[in-house]
């Protein structure tokens, strides 16, 4: 392939908040790129605002008026003379219109092309692409269906089935259905919910797999068309389809399966003309040894640091370099060194799991050998109630998985995060790390539910 024209990024606007904004600013400093933070009125004391070279307030606390406010974000880019926009995860990161508008304004969008975002953002279309590319998908429908079609397909593949919103994400827009009667009841509900939540009533259906593992492949793809897998991650510790602990590499697959998984991920990324850092997600059936594509996420993932720990590849740096037209210097997946896991430390009630924000009056963060903490919080910071409850990510790296779990436990035990009204899920992590299933790597996506969570 021909060499790509290089585009320079001198100043980037970080269209995000919290730990991922801090994460990106740190890499920019190392790359010599100036940074512009944007913030809502609720975030004026946030760490990303302090670390960036410049900061612009883009509106009141509700995300719709600030972090999702495209005109205000673009005005901030214009007045500060930024030449690129980094979207992080969540907010506008997977919005093809935003990517398009950014590029139409002469700025570089650090992520895949808008057409790619549009395609993979529709989970039914993505499944069609996977099928055409010879990537195994979960049995079920591969297009928008009516209730009658849903009943026919469910009859053929057998119950239980899962109804999914094509435009869904973040663990939302899914319903498990156990019988024909339930499908008749839930199908119209799923449709109207999908319309209300995502503005698109396309619902599809697939076989609900029994206790699968969630295994995903991180890829980097440059503008020349080269796609390289950068380790796999297992994210089977989930509560209500939301990831709680992630690890790299997956402790559940052998070299042969890993190779096939990587090949499938590359085939899919190539089929959608992917550019940048992305993740191809699969469900893995431990009994049959089969894996099935579920979706691709066209952005940096919350759990990306576990991959960085075991490969030494700075994924955020590569997002910037690829956007500037740099070619990947490696052909093969980098070697994996040891094991890493990430715990999502949330401000939430340990019993109800409801968000429990508040001031951080006392903070002792963990450290020591093999420990990385990605966070935007500090002692004296007040966790605002308007955004997701992620306080910090504790990432642990060790030579083997037993040492990894012991280290993770030590990390949780030395942490103190206290304040009036503020609660955390630290004890929940301690509990999970000590379960027999997790220690023996026999955990699956339904484990926490089986244990009463
Ligand atoms: P989202 O885009 O909301 O993250 P995904 O399609 O990636 O949704 O699925 C999220 C999680 O939901 C999976 O990791 C898994 O735990 C569960 N899930 C999704 N599809 C199935 C399925 N067909 N069978 C069993 N569990 C599923």
- 394-430 pLDDT, tens digit per residue, is 999 999 999 999 999 999 999 999 999 999 999 999 9
Q: What does the pLDDT average to over 241-269?
A: 97
Structure tokens at 408: 């993770």
Question: For ligand 1, what atom is nearest to the CA of residue 206?
Answer: 23
**Distance (Å) from CA 234 to ligand 1 centroid:** 13
Question: For ligand 1, what atom is nearest to the CA of residue 281?
Answer: 7
Helix, strand or coil for residue 45?
coil
Q: How far apart are CA 55 and CA 181, in angstroms?
A: 55
Domains 11-110 and 213-450 share a fold: no
**Distance (Å) from CA 257 to ligand 1 centroid:** 20
Q: How many CB atoms lie within 10 A of CB 98?
A: 23
Nearest to 438 by CA among 291, 237, 283: 237
Confidence band of 143 (pLDDT split at 50, 70, 90): confident
Q: How far apart are CA 83 and CA 103, in angstroms?
A: 10
User: Which protein residue's CA is at the shortest distance from atom 14 of ligand 1?
Assistant: 214
Give bridge partners of residue 344 from the DSSP assignment. Answer: 393
Domain boundary assignment for the chain: 11-110, 139-207, 213-450
pLDDT of 172: 83
**Edge-to-edge strand list for the sheet holding 161-165:** 174-177, 161-165, 203-207
Helix, strand or coil for residue 32?
coil
Q: How far apart are CA 181 and CA 255, in angstroms?
A: 43
Hey, which residues are catalytic here? 299
| CATH of the domain spanning 11-110 | 3.40.50.20
| CATH of the domain spanning 139-207 | 3.30.1490.20
User: Which protein residue's CA is at the shortest distance from atom 13 of ligand 1?
Assistant: 241
Q: How far apart are CA 416 and CA 45, in angstroms?
A: 21
Contact 243, 302 (CB under 8 A): yes
Determine the residue of 93, 117, 174 to mutate for testing ligand 1's pocket, defined as the one with the most ligand atoms within 8 A of the Cβ atom. Answer: 174
Q: What does the pLDDT average to over 328-354?
A: 96
pLDDT of 6: 81
Question: For ligand 1, what atom is nearest to the CA of residue 170?
Answer: 3
Confidence band of 2 (pLDDT split at 50, 70, 90): very low
**pLDDT for 116 beyond 90:** yes
Q: What does the pLDDT average to over 58-87?
A: 98
pLDDT of 173: 84
Helix, strand or coil for residue 128?
helix
Structure tokens at 371: 């420990």
Those residues whose C-beta lies under 8 Å from the C-beta of residue 201, and which sit 6 or more positions away, are 191, 192, 194, 195
pLDDT of 362: 98
**pLDDT for 3 beyond 80:** no
pLDDT of 384: 97
Q: Any idea of the CA torsion for 383, 385, 387, 392, to the nearest 10 degrees? A: 30
Question: For ligand 1, what atom is nearest to the CA of residue 209?
Answer: 24
**Distance (Å) from CA 167 to ligand 1 centroid:** 13
User: Which protein residue's CA is at the shortest distance from atom 22 of ligand 1?
Assistant: 208
User: Which protein residue's CA is at the shortest distance from atom 8 of ligand 1?
Assistant: 171
Determine the residue of 137, 283, 447 to mutate for testing ligand 1's pocket, defined as the one with the most ligand atoms within 8 A of the Cβ atom. Answer: 283
Q: What does the pLDDT average to over 99-125?
A: 97
pLDDT digits (tens, 9 = 90+) for 165-186: 999 887 788 999 999 999 999 9
Q: How far apart are CA 154 and CA 165, in angstroms?
A: 16
Q: What does the pLDDT average to over 358-376?
A: 98
Q: Residue 19 — φ and ψ, nearest 5°?
A: -65, -35
Q: Which fold has domain 213-450?
A: D-amino Acid Aminotransferase; Chain A, domain 1 (3.30.470)
Q: What percent of the chain has pLDDT over 70?
A: 99
Question: For ligand 1, what atom is nearest to the CA of residue 173?
Answer: 3
Q: How far apart are CA 49 and CA 57, in angstroms?
A: 10
**pLDDT for 386 beyond 50:** yes
User: Which protein residue's CA is at the shortest distance from atom 18 of ligand 1?
Assistant: 241
**Distance (Å) from CA 329 to ligand 1 centroid:** 34
CA 269 from chain centre, in angstroms, equals: 16
User: Which protein residue's CA is at the shortest distance from atom 21 of ligand 1?
Assistant: 208
**Distance (Å) from CA 240 to ligand 1 centroid:** 10
**Distance (Å) from CA 29 to ligand 1 centroid:** 36
**Distance (Å) from CA 283 to ligand 1 centroid:** 8
pLDDT of 4: 58
Residues framing ligand 1 (Cβ under 6 A): 138, 162, 168-172, 174, 206-209, 212, 214, 238, 241, 281, 283, 294-295, 445
Those residues whose C-beta lies under 8 Å from the C-beta of residue 263, and which sit 6 or more positions away, are none
Determine the residue of 121, 142, 171, 206 to mutate for testing ligand 1's pocket, defined as the one with the most ligand atoms within 8 A of the Cβ atom. Answer: 171
The continuous run of DSSP H or E covering 70 comes out as helix 70-80
Q: How many CB atoms lie within 10 A of CB 393?
A: 22
Question: For ligand 1, what atom is nearest to the CA of residue 297?
Answer: 2
Which string of DSSP letters, residue by residue, matches 407-435? HHHHHHHH-EEE-TT---SHHHHHHHHH-
**pLDDT for 299 beyond 70:** yes
pLDDT of 85: 98
Question: For ligand 1, what atom is nearest to the CA of residue 294?
Answer: 6
Cα distance between the two ends of the chain: 51
Give bridge partners of residue 35 from the DSSP assignment. Answer: 12
**Distance (Å) from CA 128 to ligand 1 centroid:** 17
């Amino acid at each position: 392939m021909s060499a790509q024209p290089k585009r320079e990024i001198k100043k980037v606007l970080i269209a995000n908040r919290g730990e991922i904004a801090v994460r990106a600013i740190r890499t920019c400093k190392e790359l010599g790129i100036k940074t512009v933070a944007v913030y809502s009125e609720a975030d004026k004391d946030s760490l990303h605002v302090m670390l960036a070279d410049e900061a612009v307030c883009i509106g009141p606390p509700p995300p719709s008026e600030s972090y999702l406010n495209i005109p205000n974000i673009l005005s901030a880019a214009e007045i500060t003379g930024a030449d690129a926009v980094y979207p992080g995860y969540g907010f506008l990161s997977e919005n093809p219109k935003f990517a398009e508008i950014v590029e139409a304004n002469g700025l570089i969008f650090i992520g895949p092309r808008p057409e790619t975002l549009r395609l993979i953002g529709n989970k039914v279309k993505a499944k069609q692409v996977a099928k055409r590319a010879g990537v195994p998908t979960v049995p079920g429908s591969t297009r928008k269906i009516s209730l009658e079609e849903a009943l026919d397909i469910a009859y053929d593949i057998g119950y239980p089935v899962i109804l999914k919103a094509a435009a869904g994400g973040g663990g939302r827009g899914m319903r498990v259905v156990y019988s024909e009667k339930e499908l008749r009841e839930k199908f119209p509900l799923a449709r109207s919910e999908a319309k209300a939540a995502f503005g698109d009533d396309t619902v599809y259906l697939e076989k609900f797999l029994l206790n699968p593992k969630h295994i995903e492949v991180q890829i980097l793809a440059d503008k020349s068309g080269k796609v390289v897998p950068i380790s796999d991650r297992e994210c089977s510790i989930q509560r209500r389809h939301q990831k709680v602990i992630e690890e790299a590499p997956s402790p559940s697959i052998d070299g042969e399966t890993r190779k096939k998984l990587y090949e499938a991920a590359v085939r899919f990324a190539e089929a959608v003309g992917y550019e940048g850092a992305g993740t191809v997600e699969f469900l893995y059936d431990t009994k049959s040894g089969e894996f099935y594509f579920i979706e691709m996420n066209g952005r940096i993932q919350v759990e990306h640091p576990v991959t960085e720990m075991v490969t030494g590849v700075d994924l955020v740096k590569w997002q910037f370099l690829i956007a500037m037209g740099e070619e990947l210097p490696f052909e093969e997946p980098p070697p994996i060194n040891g094991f890493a896991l990430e715990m999502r430390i949330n401000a939430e009630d340990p019993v109800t799991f409801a968000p429990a924000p508040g001031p951080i009056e006392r903070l002792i963060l963990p450290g020591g050998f093999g420990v990385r903490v990605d966070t935007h919080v500090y002692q004296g910071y007040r966790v605002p109630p308007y955004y997701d409850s992620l306080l910090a990510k504790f990432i642990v790296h060790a030579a083997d998985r037993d040492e990894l779990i012991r280290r993770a436990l030590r990390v949780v035990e030395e942490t103190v995060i206290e304040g009036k009204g503020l609660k955390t899920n630290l004890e929940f992590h301690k509990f999970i790390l000590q379960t027999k299933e997790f220690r023996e790597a026999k955990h699956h996506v339904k484990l926490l539910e089986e244990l009463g969570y």
